[in-house]
Amino acid sequence: MKEEQRSLLLQSSSLFSPPQGVKLSYGTAGFRADASILRSTVHRVGMLAALRSLQTRSVVGLMITASHNKVTDNGVKIVDPSGGMLSQEWEPFADQLANAQTPEALLSLITEFVEKERIPFDGLQSAEILLGRDTRPSGESLLEVAKQGISSIFGAIALDLGILTTPQLHWMVRARNKGKPATEPAYFEQISSSFRCLVDLIPNETESNKMDNTVVVDGADGVGGEKLEVLKNMLTGLVIEVRNTGKDGGLLNDGVGADYVQKEKVVPRGFGSNDVGIRCASFDGDADRLVYFTVPTNSSSKIDLVDGDKILSLFAVFIKEQLSILTKEGNENPNNNSQARLGVVQTAYANGASTDYLKQLGLEVIFTPTGVKHLHEKAAQFDIGIYFEANGHGTILFSESWLSWLEARNNELSLASAGSEQQKAALRLLSVSKLINQAVGDALSCLLLVEAILHHKGWSIQKWNELYQDLPSRQLKVKVVDRTAVTTTNAETIAVSPPGIQEAIDAETAKHLKGRCFIRPSGTEDVIRVYAEASTQEAADSLADSVAKIVDRFLGFGSSKQ
């Protein structure tokens, strides 16, 4: 490394001291903490992003957000050139960088890493980083800090894209590296025009005109609401009313948003007895999660939740149906290699009833640990892979090779049988691949796909919700002395350590009809999470309760005194 570069790194990093007494970890979704202690971390992630861009010789992204967490928190994460999450191989280095105690320690980590990874670090190679942030008040100054980190690497350029949803930034990084327009107008244009195609292809006989074409969306007082206000004006045939846009003084994620709605199962702020029966949806703070809900009665704040598992099921039903139209008998094309491998990916949090339903549809269902990066990786192994977390984060991935086949097939059909059912199915699938954000789960694009499918099928939200009935479930969290004491296997369904805990959980689970229960250390909070499912709500509550006590007995603060 050149001497000028060394001294620039030393000088720049001496401006920011890492937080004392806190060990930061890149976790499931980047670094996240109280915004006041994040400056040094964000600065170093700026450097990290520049190194990643140099190594991959591609554009990467850096997003400042803490998603569904409280407004005083913030966070930072890197978007890889593919538009996905930072390669997991780089996470340990990210942790080391964030926790280095002195500028000298930081410099030697970087020197070592650059050599090991053979990163072209001569100032000749250029690096480019697209920057985005959500609406948090701390975002602007943290973004400036990220720029300083980036500019301490020779040849690195930061392009500030201002306020964006997390999925917009992922989309733009992906588009840029494919040589396509990577601007916000291009994003809105692509998703609104593919939505329009899907609506134009709705069969005439569908009773969708009888359907209510209004959806009311809770924007979590975050960035999603404000972007949806722009997008909605580009759509026809769909009326979107946005509440909690953040413009009317509401506090981000405070009693609003997808995380709140999904976990508490009550109406978000701004919704209530006037909304009985209406189709409602909720985004999280950075708009990468979407759940739907309805208010069943005006006498309580309880909602009927339509979660990520049901969105996944709706998508799976539609895709499967279109695939079968496309491959229908009577198709004289000998080269009809359209048997796409369609698969779905879930985590242990998926409601057991959803998994049964998807298997009944004849689909291959795969489980991974929690966290988008794990689901995404598995879904990418299919021709069409649909993944969702129950919390509402998910998308559909189409393989490049299958998409090229589909495009060619569509061209053939448009010559031989334009306007046929088969060609319409091909066009619908192509439109889905353009509407859906293939970089990451995206509340805006998933909302439009849900709406298009409901209209296509002429389904109300109630009808959609009846695809299957959720098993009652309960989630709890337990504060423990050291959450890393819990390690798991089999997509987090079995606790390997501490010894004996899984046996205790099994014994408790066996007492409940249709009981299922697992524990895992949170990747974003200092707690152990407990998930329980059973045939009745009382049983799910009692199972979760007993297992929380087991966790406390093995690992809680009481246990350390024994």
- Using the rule CB under 6 A, give the single segment among 43-51, 145-153, 325-333, 370-378 that binds ligand 16G: 370-378
- Which of ligand 16G, Mg ion, none is residue 438 near (CB under 5 to 8 Å by kind)? none
For residues 527 to 546, the per-residue mask of contacts with ligand 16G, x marking binding by CB under 6 A and - elsewhere, is --x-----------------
- The smaller minimum CB distance to ligand 16G, of residues 110 and 444, is found at 444
Q: Which of 74, 194, 338, 391 touches ligand 16G by CB under 6 A?
A: 391
Q: Is 433 designated active site?
A: no
The three-class DSSP label of residue 298 is coil
Which residue's Cβ has the minimum distance to Mg ion? 67
- Which of ligand 16G, Mg ion, none is residue 457 near (CB under 5 to 8 Å by kind)? none
Write out the residues near Mg ion by the rule CB under 5 A.
Answer: 67, 284, 286, 288
The three-class DSSP label of residue 8 is helix
Contacts of 13 (CB under 8 A, 6+ apart): 40, 43, 44, 103, 106, 107, 152
Minimal distance in Å, beta carbon 518 to ligand 16G?
12
- The smaller minimum CB distance to Mg ion, of residues 307 and 508, is found at 307
Using the rule CB under 6 A, is 19 a contact of ligand 16G?
Answer: no
Given the residues 67, 194, 208, 354, the one annotated as active site: 67
CB-based contact 71:137 (threshold 8 Å): yes
Of 264, 214, 297, 204, nearest in space to 68 by CA: 264
C-alpha to C-alpha distance for 435 and 427, rounded to whole angstroms: 12
- Using the rule CB under 6 A, give the single segment among 126-134, 157-165, 196-204, 385-393 that binds ligand 16G: 385-393
Minimal distance in Å, beta carbon 555 to ligand 16G?
17
Per CB under 6 A, which of residues 24..63 are in contact with ligand 16G?
A: 28-29
How far is CA 370 from each of CA 220, 283, 396, rounded to the nearest angstrom?
23, 19, 17
Q: How many CA atoms lie within 13 A of 175 on its CB side?
A: 18
Using the rule CB under 6 A, is 372 a contact of ligand 16G?
Answer: yes
- Which of Mg ion, ligand 16G, none is residue 286 near (CB under 5 to 8 Å by kind)? Mg ion
Beta strands of 45-168 (E only): which ranges?
Answer: 59-64, 73-79, 127-133, 156-163
- Which of Mg ion, ligand 16G, none is residue 429 near (CB under 5 to 8 Å by kind)? none
- Which of ligand 16G, Mg ion, none is residue 284 near (CB under 5 to 8 Å by kind)? Mg ion
Q: Which of 18, 224, 285, 371 touches ligand 16G by CB under 6 A?
A: 371
Using the rule CB under 6 A, is 370 a contact of ligand 16G?
Answer: yes
- DSSP labels for 124-150? SS-EEEEEEE-S-TTHHHHHHHHHHHH
Using the rule CB under 6 A, is 282 a contact of ligand 16G?
Answer: no
How far is CA 137 from each of CA 65, 143, 149, 222, 355, rounded to the nearest angstrom?
11, 11, 20, 11, 40
C-alpha to C-alpha distance for 27 and 273, rounded to whole angstroms: 39
CB-based contact 61:172 (threshold 8 Å): yes
C-alpha to C-alpha distance for 546 and 530, rounded to whole angstroms: 10
Count the residues of the shown chain that bind ligand 16G, applying the rule CB under 6 A: 14
Catalytic site positions: 67
